Amino acid sequence: MATKIDSWPNSDAWDDIGGLFKKAFPGRSLAFRDLLSAAFNEREKYNEALRRNKSIAEPYDERVRFKRLDAFVAATGIVNKHRAWNLQWARSTGMRYDEPWPANGVRFPQLGIMIDRLARHIINAALSYRDRHSRELGAENEQRIQTIVDAGMLWIERAREIGFVERPSAEDADALNTWLVDIHGQRPHAPMPSDALVVNIDTNRQIRAALVDTINYLATRAPEKFPARYYDVLAADFTPFSQGGGNAVDGVRHHQTLGHVPSSQDVKSIDDPKICLLRLSSDYIRKMSFGDAGECTFWIMPSDLVARRFDKAWGEIVSH
């Protein structure tokens, strides 16, 4: 079983992963300009070597992906769980507000911080809706959005009065859930024409975002306050696995020191002497992003590392 996750560079780290160019053009270093001026039969030979190298690189990279995944699980004990985009408190269609399950016999929301974070997400969703549909909203929907925003501001103030790690009263829980039913509305099964536009907020999505924010807030303050029943559903949000089609695991995004590191762009060549001091990957749950799902990497040359000249290190950000 592998115990490290830095042992397998991507295929791009080799200029000639299968050694096919070396075999096709022995003793020659074939640059792109050479290819342009090469005879047709050499271009054919080059393209065949390129095709065969690619046929090696693709299964190699797939194997590397699984090796990294295996090693990560072996090193951390963290395993992938399917991320349920719908929390499925009930058998939800998303057409109506679905109140989260009670936790330990207490109705949602169990903490003041949940109210605060939920109200902020709903305000943001309402304002974003207004920005997206500004031309076709009409006065009635403008007023509905303003009413949602005003109510959200009142809920933020009420959460402060309750206390972020304190339990809201039954009256507060009832009022909040009634508000959520109203602003979610009855969502249509098909897109509505613009002249029938009705402002409805996807409260199920906003609750998920608010609960993730609540976990982050409580992590260093009072993690025991967060309902375990909710965390079981949200746990997959906090693992670094990336999901693909059909919920297959595409890979694992991790932070790393030393060794080979994957890259959104050009992978470091195996002949490149520079050393990875620290790699930080985008982590959206923890509000850390580098460009478009990219990475921030700090490099140092071997001689500077031996001399502990960390002032010689440099950083770079690459992304998709």
Residue 77 structure tokens = 């004990």
| Helical packing angle, 170-184 and 203-218, nearest 10° | 140
Distance CA 297, CA 228 (A): 35
Distance CA 167, CA 114 (A): 10
Q: What is the mean pLDDT of each run of 10 residues along the chain (320 residues)?
A: 57 78 72 56 78 85 75 68 53 69 90 97 92 84 92 97 96 95 66 56 88 90 90 74 51 76 79 88 75 86 94 89
Instruction: Enter the tokens of residue 151.
Output: 């109510």
Is 280 exposed, middle or buried, given 0-12, 13-18 or 19+ CB atoms closer than 10 A?
middle
Give the pLDDT score at 318: 86
> Which ranges of 163-278 would DSSP assign to H, the alpha helix?
170-184, 203-218, 228-234
Cβ burial of 286 (10 Å; 0-12, 13-18, 19+) is exposed
**What pLDDT, on the 0 to 100 scale, is given for residue 50?**
83
CA 155 → CA 120, 180, 214, 227, 250, distances in Å? 9, 12, 16, 21, 40
pTM over 0.95? The answer is no
Estimate the share of the chain in helix, then strand, then coil, as percent rounded to the nearest 5: 50, 10, 40
- Specify burial of residue 90 (Cβ count, 10 A radius: 0-12, 13-18, 19+): exposed
- On the 0-12 / 13-18 / 19+ scale of CB atoms within 10 A, 12 is middle
DSSP H/E element including 298? strand 295-300
**pLDDT value, residue 194:** 47
Q: d(Cα 163, Cα 109) in Å, to the nearest integer?
A: 13
Q: Is residue 42 packed enough to be buried (19+ CB in 10 Å), middle (13-18) or exposed (0-12)?
A: middle
User: What sign does the dihedral 320-272-57-71 (CA atoms) show?
Assistant: negative
Question: What pLDDT score does 216 carry?
Answer: 87
Q: What SS3 class is residue 103?
A: strand
Question: Which two three-digit tokens encode residue 80?
Answer: 């992938």
Residue type, 149: V
Cβ neighbors of 313 (< 8 A, separation 6 or more) are 277, 298, 299, 300, 304
How many whole angstroms separate alpha carbon 206 and alpha carbon 217? 16
Q: Is there a contact between 254 and 262 (Cβ–Cβ < 8 Å)?
A: no
- E strands of 71-216, at which residues? none
What pLDDT, on the 0 to 100 scale, is given for residue 255? 80
